[in-house]
């Protein structure tokens, strides 16, 4: 079955669904056009980005969302009040999950944004995490923006990284970082798992620590999300950060802190023993029930003994958690970990750095994680994927005017890691060795890879030596793409390929 037969299947399925919907003919045509464009561009998108869902999964979910979650779709006229509403909210579409309605600009990209936004997303995070709401909002925005990329940056024959369509740049950047480290399947499970039994965020922390112990990516992420938060959100967060600040002060004296934990364990043990004694004896339960009810106002009295027993069980659980925490923190290794955690919260509480600086520092920490993956790659497929990922990463937009590669300190780090990946690719035979001089070899290959050519396997290079410069011409198959010049003072004999002849870069 070829691409056109698959395309026909999805279009036919969507047409059947749209026949049951009271959408206008123009909206139906836009939705069918959207599916067509996704289908047409997906192979290029998948080739460039690497960390993506399977095409069938993406299309099947998109069609299913239209079927299950959309009943009313309207598009706005330019300069209308509704268009101004979208602009005010800085979104391509507004959705109402309860009414299953969508209001969007009349474009395929806007409709895809609305379809992504209206589907339920869980992204469960433990309530104890101070930045829970900010992280969840980031993940939702990141998911929506990530879905748009297939239409925004790809058109069936080219990859345009300069395209920008209502991108929430910071949230998208962090989401892409998570995606490139943890993988699409992990984020997909996190989004779709309604149970709180799996702590996905802790799993991310564990993965990051396994790649680079003491990595500060998540600390800088929280600094950035906090800096972007509304005044109302900051108020609530500030109260909790202040508590952590005071707690850090209180535990600074290790000897006093450990004594306090020991005393707390004793008190918790006494309270646990008392509750266990009451719960093991029906007469004592009844006596305690009456005693507590006598102290309560009429409208606050406990209904019956069964309710009271459940209350005692909950009390016991809370006290047990306090006891367990005190026991854990009494261990030196856990005390140090907890102190570091509080210090991280405090660094956010007292943060005076600009958000631009924090973004750069966050990405430097992200690149340390990527470097660990480059070093640990064992298969040719992993080596190739890392090269694609580093190229893709350089082209992520930080704002409307700037990409990762436009920041000198970040671009330098990417190049340093890319050099390791390319050297491994040459040693394993994935990429041809152009020159025996490592630096010259790298400069030529880097310039060839740093292009908008979709399939790196199709790259051909053509070299000319003119005085002290190597002229490198890059081709996508037989089509000229670009030319660059590299200073060269070495020996022509070091080259492993012939000059003035097109040569495939990848073996």
Cα separation of 380 and 428, whole Å?
7
| Contact (CB, 8 A) for 448 and 505 | yes
Instruction: Report the pLDDT value the prediction gives residue 351, as an integer from 0 to 100.
Output: 87
Q: Is pTM, for the whole model, over 0.85?
A: yes
Which tens digits make up the pLDDT trace of 402-425? Answer: 999 999 999 999 999 999 999 999
Instruction: Report the pLDDT value the prediction gives residue 8, as an integer from 0 to 100.
Output: 52
Question: H helices of 212-304, where?
Answer: 217-228, 231-251, 254-279, 282-294
Provide the 10 A C-beta neighbour count for residue 501. 10
Question: H helices of 428-466, where?
Answer: 438-449
For 461, phi then psi, to 5°, come to: -120, 150
pLDDT < 70 positions in the chain: 1-8, 164-166
Cα separation of 347 and 44, whole Å?
42
CB neighbour class for 139 (10 Å; exposed up to 12, middle 13-18, buried from 19): buried
Q: Which two structure tokens, joined as six digits, stand for 246? A: 């005071």
Instruction: Report the pLDDT value the prediction gives residue 4, as an integer from 0 to 100.
Output: 43
Place of tokens 């394993």: 428
Query: Which distant-in-sequence residues (6+ apart) come within 8 Å of 383 by Cβ?
Result: 377, 421, 424, 425, 428, 430
Q: In the 8-state DSSP scheme, what is residue 462?
A: E
Cα separation of 300 and 323, whole Å?
29
Cα separation of 189 and 181, whole Å?
15
Q: Which two structure tokens, joined as six digits, stand for 145? A: 């923006």
3-state secondary structure of 431: strand
Give, to the nearest 10 degrees, the angle between helix 355-376 and helix 408-427.
Answer: 10
Instruction: Report the pLDDT value the prediction gives residue 467, as an integer from 0 to 100.
Output: 85
Instruction: Report the pLDDT value the prediction gives residue 5, as an integer from 0 to 100.
Output: 44
Buried b (16+ CB within 10 A) or exposed e, 22-36: ebeeebbebbbebbb
Cα separation of 406 and 137, whole Å?
27
Among candidate residues 429, 409, 415, the one with its CA nearest the CA of residue 505 = 429
Instruction: Report the pLDDT value the prediction gives residue 156, as an integer from 0 to 100.
Output: 87
For 465, phi then psi, to 5°, come to: -110, 115
Instruction: Report the pLDDT value the prediction gives residue 125, as an integer from 0 to 100.
Output: 95
């Amino acid at each position: 079955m070829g691409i056109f037969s698959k395309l026909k299947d999805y279009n036919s399925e969507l047409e059947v669904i749209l026949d049951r919907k009271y959408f206008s003919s123009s909206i139906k045509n836009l939705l069918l056009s959207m599916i067509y464009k996704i289908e047409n561009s997906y192979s290029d998108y998948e080739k460039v980005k690497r960390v993506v869902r399977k095409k069938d999964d993406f299309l099947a979910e998109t069609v299913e969302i239209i079927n299950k979650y959309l009943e009313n779709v309207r598009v706005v006229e330019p300069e209308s009040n509704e268009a101004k509403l979208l602009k005010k909210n800085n979104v391509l579409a507004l959705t109402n999950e309860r009414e299953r309605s969508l209001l969007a600009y009349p474009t395929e990209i806007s409709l895809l944004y609305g379809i992504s936004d209206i589907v339920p997303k869980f992204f469960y995070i433990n309530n104890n995490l101070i930045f829970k709401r900010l992280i969840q909002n980031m993940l939702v925005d990141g998911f929506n923006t990530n879905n748009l990329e297939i239409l925004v940056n790809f058109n069936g024959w080219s990859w345009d990284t300069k395209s920008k369509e209502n991108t929430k740049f910071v949230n998208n950047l962090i989401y892409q970082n998570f995606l490139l480290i943890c993988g699409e399947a992990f984020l997909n499970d996190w989004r779709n798992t309604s149970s709180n039994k799996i702590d996905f965020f802790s799993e991310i922390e564990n993965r990051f620590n396994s790649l680079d112990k003491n990595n500060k990516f998540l600390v800088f992420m929280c600094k950035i999300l906090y800096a972007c938060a509304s005044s109302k959100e900051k108020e609530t967060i500030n109260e909790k950060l202040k508590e952590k600040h005071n707690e850090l002060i209180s535990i600074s004296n290790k000897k006093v802190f450990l004594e306090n934990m020991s005393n707390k364990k004793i008190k918790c043990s006494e309270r646990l023993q008392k509750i266990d004694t009451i719960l093991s004896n029906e007469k004592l339960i009844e006596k305690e029930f009456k005693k507590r009810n006598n102290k309560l106002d009429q409208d606050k009295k406990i209904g019956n003994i069964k309710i009271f027993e459940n209350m005692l069980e909950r009390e016991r659980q809370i006290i047990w958690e306090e006891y367990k925490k005190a026991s854990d923190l009494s261990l030196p290794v856990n005390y140090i970990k907890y102190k570091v955690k509080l210090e991280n919260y405090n660094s956010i509480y007292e943060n005076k750095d600009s958000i631009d600086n924090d973004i750069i520092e966050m990405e430097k920490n992200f690149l340390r994680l990527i470097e660990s993956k480059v070093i640990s790659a064992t298969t040719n497929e992993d080596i190739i994927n890392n090269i694609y990922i580093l190229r893709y990463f350089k082209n992520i937009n930080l704002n409307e005017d700037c990409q990762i590669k436009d920041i000198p300190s970040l671009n330098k780090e990417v190049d340093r890691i890319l050099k390791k990946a390319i050297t491994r690719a040459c040693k394993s035979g994935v990429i041809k060795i152009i020159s025996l001089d490592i630096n010259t070899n790298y400069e030529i290959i880097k310039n060839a890879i740093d292009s908008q050519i979709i399939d790196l396997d199709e790259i051909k290079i053509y070299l000319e030596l003119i005085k002290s410069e190597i002229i490198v011409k890059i081709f996508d198959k037989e089509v000229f793409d670009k030319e660059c010049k590299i200073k060269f003072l070495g020996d022509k004999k070091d080259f492993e390929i012939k000059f003035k002849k097109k040569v495939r870069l990848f073996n």
